[in-house]
Amino acid sequence: MERMKRVLLLLLAFTVLLMLPEASATKFTVGNNQFWNPNINYTEWAKGKHFYLGDWLYFVYDRNQASVLEVNKTDYETCNSDHPLTNWTRGAGRDVVPLNVTKTYYIISGRGFCFSGMKIAVHVEKLPPPPKAAPVKSAAPTLFSQDRILLMPVVFAIGAAWDAFIHFW
């Protein structure tokens, strides 16, 4: 009986591990290989992309020039950087913005670069419902919460796999 349980745990662990790629959050490099620079249409860049809760925006730029400021809609439209909601600038020219709220993020660069096109609006959606054919679902529904960073299941899976490995062999 105990052995059966461990085999089941082992199976569950591997299933979870196999499903991980699908479950991971997306880190979008803003502008792809053109990064965060003037004279790029970021509306075009964002077009057709889906941004989900738990995803990230990654800004790569010249730290001596640009910045990453979250502003409200009005300030986005007018390129006003006088009262940012959040200053995501950390100083290295490599900034990550976690998209952890379902809303539209308005992000601009300071120092006038917004007027050269360094502005982006990103609408963050809730995760779509998980695919129907998730084999583990009935066995462990709590493993598949809305979070796409499934840290607990991973820890659990690795622990269970190790445990099963030790005892089974």
Binding residues for ligand NAG, per CB under 6 A? 41, 43-44, 67, 69, 72-75, 81, 83-84, 87, 89, 91, 98, 100-101, 110, 117
Looking at the chain, the number of H-run helices and the number of E-run strands are 4, 8
SS3 at position 70: strand
In the complex, least distance from residue 98 CB atom to ligand NAG, rounded to whole angstroms: 5
Q: Which is nearer to ligand NAG, 24 or 100 (CB)?
A: 100
Task: Determine how β-strand 86-87 pairs with β-strand 119-125.
Answer: unpaired
In the complex, least distance from residue 107 CB atom to ligand NAG, rounded to whole angstroms: 12
Q: Which is nearer to ligand NAG, 17 or 127 (CB)?
A: 127
Q: Which is nearer to ligand NAG, 3 or 90 (CB)?
A: 90
Q: Which is nearer to ligand NAG, 117 or 130 (CB)?
A: 117
Q: How far is CA 128 from the centre of its chain?
A: 14
How much of the chain is helix, strand and coil, in % rounded to 5?
35, 20, 45
